[in-house]
Structure 1
């Protein structure tokens, strides 16, 4: 399967999870510090809009960053979290559809153009579907609406594990992680902030 396939599957699973929630369930907390389900759903909506800016950059060459600043990103999420549940449901669904449409319209040449992620990494636009697949799949689990990592495609979770190990290794956590993953210690390492 491709990252685009995983993005599609993850999006369907996320939207199904959102649809399982009652309006009152939106107010329940998540394990993400300070975030209710409302915040999480708003974040996924605005993430789609941010990735659409990168797609526009790749398609036109006109630079559009995902977010103007961390403060702008945080304010978007807070604003979205205050929306009525029905409106938030509609927005997260609409932005997911719009991102899929925009990605499918990208030319082969545009997919090779470089864009800059919110973390400051320069990547080809062809990486955007993986970025979105990761976002919707992990946050489906974070919603606590009956889905876990076992419900995600095996190929996706394998790619996610490799991606997470690379990021952890790059942040200086390789040695304790390698010891644990190779069975040389039974104690899982204490890791840095969530990815």
Structure 2
């Protein structure tokens, strides 16, 4: 079952669980460790925390759009988004902790107070897709679960719910297909799922492993736990 096949209440609960998971690992991070490298090239842990905090604020803007009908983009531009994260990464560790906590609480309040008919209102993602406001549950789930791992202090793909991992893999492979990447690549997941990235291409490489390991690899977070294909680099996702 895909994430968006779940009832909205279940989707929101998973997003909240991911937020709590991120909060747990953030609390375990000492202030002196904020300057350490994350699992994302070029980003410190400060960047990750700033990004997750500002992502919640951006999703609040989409929910305001859904509630009022007044267009309120997530970000003014990609450049503004990148600058906001870079500037946020210069905040003190205490300020970054507060940023995360406050924006997460604001987002949860927006979810709780959004009128029922507004969940179907169309809003625009940062990638330009028009989606119903209910998609914010998936957008937040993806951010908090993956970026907890990116903090590099104990977060694991194995802790992410299977329904989130399955939908992440669908997202990643869908992006590869739209870009025409991953030609000849096949993903074998735990002996139960076979994903051919480009259907009409002959197979040239196979990546095999448990679901969590394959999603970790596909998302660009390293080849940990794979049983085949660990020497191959994945196509770029985002």
Equivalent pair of 1:173/1:191 in contact (CA under 8 Å):
no
Larger radius of gyration between Structure 1 and Structure 2: 2
For structure 2, the residue ranges without an aligned partner over 5 or more in a row are 1-5, 189-193, 196-202, 208-228
Equivalent residue number for residue 18 of structure 2 = 10
For structure 1, the residue ranges without an aligned partner over 5 or more in a row are none
Counterpart secondary structure, 1:34: coil
Cα displacement (A) at 1:190: 4.3
Structure with more contact order per residue of length (Cα contacts < 8 Å, sep ≥ 6): 1
Cα displacement (A) at 1:48: 0.6
Cα displacement (A) at 1:174: 5.6
**C-alpha distance in 1 between matches for 2:237 and 2:163:** 22
Cα displacement (A) at 1:191: 3.4
Cα displacement (A) at 1:31: 2.5
Cα displacement (A) at 1:180: 3.8
Mean alpha-carbon deviation: is it higher for 42-51 or for 2-11? 2-11
Mean alpha-carbon deviation: is it higher for 42-51 or for 100-109? 100-109
Counterpart secondary structure, 2:153: coil
Cα displacement (A) at 1:66: 0.5
* Greater helix share, structure number: 1
Equivalent pair of 1:14/1:140 in contact (CA under 8 Å):
yes
Equivalent residue number for residue 51 of structure 1 = 59
Equivalent pair of 1:110/1:125 in contact (CA under 8 Å):
yes
Counterpart secondary structure, 1:14: helix
1:50-129 → structure 2 map (5 Å cutoff): 50-129=58-137
Equivalent pair of 2:35/2:45 in contact (CA under 8 Å):
yes
Q: What value does the CA root-mean-square deviation take over the aligned residues? A: 1.8
Equivalent residue number for residue 41 of structure 1 = 49
After TM superposition, the score normalised by the length of structure 2 is 0.76
**C-alpha distance in 2 between matches for 1:108 and 1:173:** 39
**C-alpha distance in 2 between matches for 1:53 and 1:152:** 27
Equivalent residue number for residue 155 of structure 2 = 147
**C-alpha distance in 2 between matches for 1:190 and 1:35:** 20
**C-alpha distance in 1 between matches for 2:118 and 2:53:** 24
Equivalent pair of 1:30/1:37 in contact (CA under 8 Å):
yes
Equivalent pair of 2:120/2:133 in contact (CA under 8 Å):
yes
Equivalent pair of 1:17/1:146 in contact (CA under 8 Å):
yes
Equivalent pair of 1:30/1:143 in contact (CA under 8 Å):
yes
Cα displacement (A) at 1:56: 0.4
- Write the deviation string for residues 83-106 of structure 1: whole angstroms up to 9, x where unpaired: 110111011011011101101211
- Write the deviation string for residues 149-181 of structure 1: whole angstroms up to 9, x where unpaired: 00111222122222222222222236433x344
**C-alpha distance in 1 between matches for 2:102 and 2:164:** 24
